[in-house]
Amino acid sequence: MRNPLLSKKLKRTETRLLIIDDNQIRFNQIRELLTSSGHVVQATLLDDLQTFEKQLHQNWDLVIFGRAYDLKYEQALSLIQLSKQPNLPIILLKPEDYQAEQYAGYIRKGIYDILNLDYPDRFYLGLLRALLFSRLMLTQQHLMDELESAQTHAQSLVHDSNKAVALIQEGIHIQANPEYLQLFGIKNEDDIVGLPLLDLLQPKDLNDFKLRFKKITQGQFDLGRLEIATLNDHLSIPNPLKIEFLPATDEDALQITIDIETSEASNAASGTADKNVQKPNTYQLINRTITKQPSDINALVLFSLASCPETIFEGNWVTSKNYFSEIEAFLKEQTHVPLFKVSPGIFAALFQAESKAKLESKLIGLSSLTKPQLLTVNQSSYPLNLRIGYVILDSEIRDESHFEQFITSAYNTALPQNAPTAGLELETHLDIPTMEIRPKEIKPLNSLPESSLIRALEKSLERGEIHLKYQQLYDKQDTNLYTYEVTSGFIFENTWKDLSSLRELAEDPELSIKLDRWILVESCKQLHNFITQYPEAKLIVNLNKEILFHDRTFPEFISKLITIVRSKLTHPLILQFSEEDLTQNISDAQKHITQLHQFGAKISLRDFGNTIYSESALRQLDVNCLTLHRSLTQMLNTEQSTEELQEKIKTFHEIKPVEIMLRELNDMTLFANAWNVDARFIQGDYFQKKLDHLIDVQDQ
């Protein structure tokens, strides 16, 4: 008996190979190895990033990575994971410095296998295994698509052709749609549940029906379509009944459909049936999604409008239409889960988890989306106020009526909240105290000019409407996967104001400190909730200088926060300050940094590296991390400036062994080129946009 891996099935379809290598000979070897064994091969060779980016828009069976001038295998992995084929297997040609004990590490990073071309037979078999896996993945997806299409088609036909439908189990009715009840003159579904099928159909030729029905229950569905004359005088349509039996979702159940469509109805529907036949109901789409990605616990989260701005109706109809389209786009971006349109402006999202605690953690995190939001429509900003509720899906959604029950329950059930415990009483134990501000350094508040923006900020803080934005970092070493930078802002006159660059805030140091303490408390609430899902999560929180220089109880405050967050990490909080703010008073800054280190915090500098004082500041300040200035990020746009950036980073590392982050990598070129410099953490919209709550985009 031959190994099925060596069957001819794999050879019948063209094998599409994307080979990354700077060696034409190896490329030819791989291609000839397959063609000599009867494979039809379409292979492309490249060794540069730009061509690789273009080729990822095509469909491939395998990627084989050898060696390239400006492309690392880690880059290839990350770009594939963010492409339209995230599960595309990548084979690594054995590196020159490879050690056998490194194998597991490569696999954990995402490499499918490591193969050695010096052993052609083993290489060929390894390639076949990877190819078989790739084909199985594609086949599985194709079959799921076909199944979904067939089920949708069948259910849509039932809906569109006006049929009476019921479920039968062991010859007894267990469920029926309104058309079925009406057909037999029954007013309530409860009256039909438990009623034998024969009592309702009352076939004229009873023995023939019994014999055929028995064969159908045994699986002979080729006998499932029939016509019977009935003796039931409550029937609302004339004989004979056109009946079809189909298998139901449950193994021991049958679906019976009876055609009740009149000739007039048939004519009226003929113009639209073809158009709508493939259009499934929302509840059917939800059922399909759960079938495709089953989970122990499923919940529907309902997003609806708490209020609607009148201004969107004052313009043209395009503005109104686009406003509702933008709501959907906003929710997709914020949730990263399957989203379903219930009605205009109302959407249901499917959240899944392995446990009740993890699901609750996800739902608690969504509360931040109930704050007033902004939507950009046709280059103008409009307010968005969401009402959010949820319901646990404890069964399959049977029909529209059942779906409506779930939606009603979700609309009336508020999201769960962080429950205070003995160790996490953030509201009471961390009330913001009156600040001790040195009067000789700070102007008294009443001498400052009135600022409408500052007053609006105060009110926004009082209402708890400051927005915290979380953006995930990509760790090239794949060890700190759940590090998030926290930025903040608020909405002022329908415009977003970033609090880290708000100059007016420096005029009111007491408000600045109060604000930063609130940001720390709220972000730590999110972190405490999030570590239920990801225990290794940590935050980089952006703060202003006033809390460092003028809040004398700040170190103790941080110590208390770290304690009650209950993280298993020794340093779950990294406090990030502007380089410019700290270099204005380096000696004082270092004194406060030393204290914060003693109380368990790490320190980072943001907007670093763009002045002649940067290197000096790095030498004098005991910091752990650097977030580089946006002008340094832009150096990744060209090969020459990327090399210059690498030299800068090399200098920073020589001064101090710090962790370096590059932010604002908002396109594929910047994201990919960031792998060519020694910045361990990379971040930007290409990987994950700034979101209002913590999620892991790599696990959605």
Does residue 240 have a cis peptide bond before it, meaning omega lies within 30 degrees of 0? yes
What is the spatial distance between Cα 687 and Cα 471, in angstroms, rounded to a whole number? 9
- Spatial distance between the Cα atoms of 260 and 80, rounded to a whole number of angstroms: 52
pLDDT for position 151: 65
- Decide if 485 is inside a domain: yes
CA-CA distance, 680 to 434, in Å (whole number)? Answer: 40
SS3 at position 688: coil
List CB contacts of 148: < 8 A, sequence separation 6 or more: 288, 292
In a domain, 277, yes or no: no
Please indicate, yes or no, whether residues 190 and 66 belong to a single structural domain of this protein.
no
Residue 442: pLDDT band (50, 70, 90) is: very low
| Same domain, yes or no: 28 and 87 | yes
Residue 299 burial (C-beta neighbours within 10 Å; 0-12, 13-18, 19+): buried
Last-in-domain residue among 142, 175, 197 = 142
Token pair 């959907």 in the structure block, residue: 328
Q: What are phi and psi of 218, to 5 degrees?
A: -85, 0
The pLDDT value given to residue 235: 87
Distance CA 73, CA 89 (A): 12
State residue 447 phi and psi, 5-degree precision: -90, -5
State the pLDDT confidence band at 261, using cuts at 50, 70 and 90.
Answer: low
Tens digit of pLDDT for each residue in 457-484? Answer: 999 999 999 999 999 999 998 889 999 9
Using 50, 70 and 90 to split pLDDT, how confident is the model at 239? confident
Same domain? 113 vs 75: yes
Say yes or no to pLDDT of 1 above 80: no
Residue 149 maps to a domain: no
Say yes or no to pLDDT of 441 above 90.
no
Q: Which pLDDT does position 420 carry in this prediction?
A: 63
The model's pLDDT over 278-315, given as tens digits with 9 standing for 90+, comes to 456 899 889 988 988 889 899 999 999 999 888 887 77
Q: Average pLDDT in the 30-40 region?
A: 93
What CATH number does the domain containing 102 carry?
A: 3.40.50.2300
Cβ-based neighbours of 334, under 8 Å, separated by 6 or more: 369, 691, 692, 693
Contact predicate 277/318, CB 8 Å: no
Give pLDDT tens digits for 379-434: 889 999 999 999 999 999 988 899 999 999 999 999 999 866 444 444 434 444 44
Environment class of 640 (CB within 10 Å of its CB; exposed 0-12, middle 13-18, buried 19+): exposed
Answer yes or no: do 305 and 381 share one domain.
yes
Give the C-alpha separation, 478 to 680, whole Å.
Answer: 10
- Write down the H helix ranges in 168-306: 178-183, 197-201, 206-217, 263-276, 282-292
What Cα–Cα distance (Å) separates residue 220 from each residue in 11, 252, 503, 544, 667? 36, 14, 77, 74, 56
Q: What is the pLDDT of residue 157?
A: 59
Query: Which tokens hold the place of 374?
Result: 């902004």
CA–CA separation, 515 and 78 (whole Å): 37
Do the Cβ atoms of 476 and 510 come closer than 8 Å?
no
448 located within any domain: no
Q: Chain-wide mean pLDDT for the chain? A: 88
* Number of independent structural domains in the chain: 4
Q: What are the tokens at 204?
A: 């004229």
Q: Does residue 326 belong to any structural domain of this protein?
A: yes
Q: Is pLDDT at 264 greater than 50 in this prediction?
A: no
- Give CA–CA dist 630/610, Å, rounded: 9
Residue 91 confidence (pLDDT) above 90: yes
pLDDT in the model for residue 425: 47
Give me the CATH number covering residue 369.
3.30.70.270
C-beta of residue 121 within 8 angstroms of C-beta of residue 34: no
- The CATH number of residue 594's host domain is 3.20.20.450
Helices (H) and strands (E) in the chain, counts: 25, 25
Q: Are residues 358 and 249 in the same domain?
A: no
Which residue's structure tokens are 């949708």? Answer: 152
DSSP string, 79-139: HHHTSS-TT--EEEEPPTT--GGGHHHHHHHT--EEE-TTSHHHHHHHHHHHHHHHHHHHH
For residue 359, being part of any structural domain is answered with yes
pLDDT at residue 42, rounded to an integer: 94
Percent of the chain with pLDDT over 90: 65
272, pLDDT greater than 80: no
CA distance 201 to 210: 11
Answer yes or no: do 316 and 371 share one domain.
Answer: yes
DSSP run (H or E) holding 356: helix 356-365
Tell whether 157 is covered by a domain: no
Q: What are phi and psi of 387, to 5 degrees?
A: -105, 130
Q: What pLDDT digit, counting tens, does each position of 329-379 carry? A: 999 999 999 999 999 889 999 999 999 999 999 999 999 999 999 998 888
What was the pLDDT predicted at 162? 66
A 10 A CB-CB count for 63 gives: 25
Same domain? 651 vs 583:
yes
In this predicted structure, what is the pLDDT of residue 388? 98
- Output the pTM of the full model: 0.77
Residue 438 included in any domain: no
Other residues' Cβ atoms within 10 Å of the Cβ of residue 553:
12
User: 389 and 491 share a domain?
Assistant: no
Pairing of strands 339-343, 346-353: antiparallel
Backbone φ/ψ region at 171: left (φ over 0), alpha (ψ -120 to 50), beta: left
Predicted confidence (pLDDT) per residue in 494-550, tens digit: 899 999 878 888 889 999 999 999 999 999 999 999 999 999 999 999 999 999 999
The model's confidence at residue 161, banded by pLDDT at 50, 70 and 90, is low
The reply to whether 231 and 310 lie within a common domain is: no
The verdict on 230 and 316 lying in the same domain is no
Residue 630 shares a structural domain with residue 499: yes
Domain at 239, CATH number: 3.30.450.20
- Sheet of 241-247: strands edge to edge? 172-176, 163-169, 253-259, 241-247, 225-228
- Check if the beta carbon of residue 121 is closer than 8 Å to that of residue 48: no
Tell me, what's the pLDDT at 421? 46
With a cut of 70, say whether residue 619 has pLDDT above it. yes
- b/e sequence 594-621, b meaning 16+ C-beta within 10 Å: eebbebbbbbbbbbbbeeeebbebbeeb
Question: How far apart are alpha carbons 279 and 285 in whole angstroms?
Answer: 10
> 474 with 338, same domain?
no
Q: Residue 68 is part of which domain span?
A: 4-142
Helix H or strand E segment including 302 = strand 297-307
Last residue within a domain, chosen from 411, 443, 475: 411
Torsion angle (degrees, nearest 10) of CA 98, 99, 103, 106: -40
What is the DSSP annotation of 327-340? Answer: HHHHHHHHH-S-EE
Would you state the pLDDT for residue 410?
Answer: 97
pLDDT-derived band at 653, boundaries 50, 70, 90: very high
Q: What is the pLDDT of residues 134-153, one digit of tens each?
A: 988 888 877 777 776 666 66
Q: Is residue 114 within 8 Å of 103, Cβ to Cβ?
A: yes
For the record, the structure tokens of 356 come out as 């009740």
pLDDT band at 668 (very low <50, low <70, confident <90, very high): confident
